[in-house]
Amino acid sequence: METDILIIGAGPAGIQAAIHASRKKVNTVLVGKPSNSAMMEAHIENLFGLEKIVKGGDLLNIGVEQVKRFGCTVILQNVVSMAIDGDTFHIITESGEKIYSKAIILATGIARVKLGVPGEKEFFGKGVSYCASCDCNFYKGMIVAIIGSESEAAMSAELMTKYAKKVYWVSETIDADKALETKARTAGVEIIEAKLLQIKGSKAVESIMIDDGKEIKVDGVFIELGGKSSGDLAMDLDITPDIDDTIKVNENCETSVKGVFACGDIAGKPWQVAKAIGQGAVAGLSAAEYVKSLK
Ligand SMILES: Cc1cc2nc3c(=O)[nH]c(=O)nc-3n(C[C@H](O)[C@H](O)[C@H](O)COP(=O)(O)OP(=O)(O)OC[C@H]3O[C@@H](n4cnc5c(N)ncnc54)[C@H](O)[C@@H]3O)c2cc1C
């Protein structure tokens, strides 16, 4: 198969890029599984135009049908490798299909780093969260623990003091920026220098066990350990991800390689749907303009 624009990743960034690119009447193919998007299990309330909390999975399903209406081909598969072929590119999907394209948009997202303790998986969405800025509002007046040693954890802990009645920051070491750590402490965050061993509860999170044998009553656990991307895929195109595994883009969502664009979580923080959609629109338009300039 041959196309003008190939978008890898069927989350909000890739879907929005597909909408904007295909409406510019360039051939567009979207490859990815919406079911693997970070948004799939999210309950969204911080997006313009929503009157109530909306399931991320519902928005993704609507989005996939929407891009098809604009003429975009959707392939529900993972990409296993990519390569540069002179002025063009090709990818190989998990079923072995080879697709050639004049431009590529990387919208492969970020996977939140997991802690790997008992209870983490079981209580995901029932008190375990990987995004304080997404879920803060659901913990008004409750007791929460933030897990993670770095600045991201410090910022999340400080943010949660504005919602929760008590915030613990649990970590064996504190490696955050000193100013952010002080800000969190000043806001009333209680730091517990210990290792989290287990998240406990019945239907939802009720407590955490730490390595000094103590059990602490909490309603929510925010795991703030950063993210990991499909950066190795980008390396197939001679793009080296940054130290935090994200890909640098300019204001047009162009990467360091001509004809390759990136948007959404993989292109840096904030890891939020609104930013993914905004960058998706920019990447879709930039790629369409690029392809038209080749003709
Ligand atoms: C539990 C949870 C709750 C959240 N709540 C909110 C919220 O309330 N508000 C908010 O704004 N944000 C929220 N977020 C963050 C939000 O979901 C992300 O910022 C957003 O989904 C990023 O969009 P994206 O398209 O860049 O990446 P993603 O949505 O992660 O999509 C990436 C896509 O790339 C695909 N992909 C990856 N590798 C490959 C490959 N090799 N081949 C093909 N496809 C590939 C994936 O399958 C997926 O389809 C939440 C996140 C989580 C995890």
**What amino acid occupies position 75?**
I
CA atoms within 13 A on the CB side of 286: 23
pLDDT of residue 182: 96
For residue 111, how far is its CA from the centre of ligand 1 (angstroms)? 8
Rounded to the nearest whole angstrom, what is the distance from the C-alpha of residue 270 to the centroid of ligand 1? 12
pLDDT digits (tens, 9 = 90+) for 4-27: 999 999 999 999 999 999 999 999
Both tokens of 170, joined, read 């649990």
Among the atoms of ligand 1, which is closest to the Cα of residue 263?
26
Domain extent listing, the chain: 2-111+227-294, 114-223
Q: Which fold has domain 114-223?
A: FAD/NAD(P)-binding domain (3.50.50)
Q: How far is the CA of 12 from the centre of ligand 1 (A)?
A: 7
pLDDT in tens, 77-92: 989 889 998 889 999 9
Atom of ligand 1 nearest to the CA of 12: 25
Which residues have C-beta within 8 Å of that of residue 250, sequence separation ≥ 6? none
> Chain-centre distance of CA 242, in angstroms?
16
pLDDT, residue 261, reads 98
228 pLDDT above the threshold of 80:
no
Mean of per-residue pLDDT scores for the chain: 94
Tens-digit pLDDT profile for residues 37-53: 999 989 999 999 999 99
Single-letter residue type at 123? F
Residue 98 banded pLDDT, cuts 50, 70, 90:
very high
Report angle CA 156, 159, 160 to the nearest 5 degrees. Answer: 85
Q: Report long-range pairs for 270-273 (Cβ below 8 Å, ≥24 apart).
A: 270/133, 271/38, 271/110, 271/131, 271/227, 272/46, 272/133, 272/134, 273/12, 273/39, 273/42, 273/44, 273/46, 273/47, 273/56
Tokens of 190: 């209680």
Fold of 2-111+227-294: FAD/NAD(P)-binding domain (3.50.50)
Please determine whether the domains at 2-111+227-294 and 114-223 fall in the same fold group of CATH: yes
Over residues 102-156, the pLDDT tens digits come to 999 999 999 888 999 999 999 999 999 999 988 999 999 999 999 999 988 999 9
Dist. CA 26–CA 42, nearest whole Å: 32
Question: Which residues, 6+ apart, have CB-to-CB distance to 193 below 8 Å?
Answer: 171, 172, 173, 174
Go through 169-184 and write b for each residue having 16 or more CB atoms within 10 A of its CB, e for each that does not. bbbeebebeeebbebb
Per-residue pLDDT tens over the stretch 240-259: 888 888 999 999 999 999 99
